Amino acid sequence: MEKINKDKLKKITEQLKPYWRNYWKIWKEFSDKTHELEIKMNDKIKINTPLEFFYVDGECVGIGALNFEDRESFPLIQDRDLN
């Protein structure tokens, strides 16, 4: 693989910018929809502990307590139990 010089890297960076902006637009839409779903979930379930989709290393692994201090009384419900 050839080493990319600074000029070529700058050109490639400019070409990548639209993709980067589009990625963040998609990510924001996903994040907003996920937040709306969490609100609906909490309104419907009606327990004293606010819940959230729980992520580890960028992957959703289940649903658990939003607040760290509530995680002892409401443990994570793992994805394998939800599928």
- Model confidence over 1-30: pLDDT tens digits? 889 899 999 999 999 999 999 999 999 999
pTM: 0.81
> 57 and 38 share a domain?
no
> 40 and 52 share a domain?
no
> 39 and 57 share a domain?
no
> 58 and 31 share a domain?
no
> 80 and 56 share a domain?
yes
> 35 and 5 share a domain?
yes
Residue range of the domain that includes 42: 1-46
Domain tally, the chain: 2
> 3 and 37 share a domain?
yes
> 3 and 42 share a domain?
yes
Cβ contact 10:23 at 8 Å:
no
In the predicted structure, residue 63 carries a pLDDT above the cut 90: yes
> 27 and 63 share a domain?
no
Predicted local confidence at residue 1, as pLDDT: 80
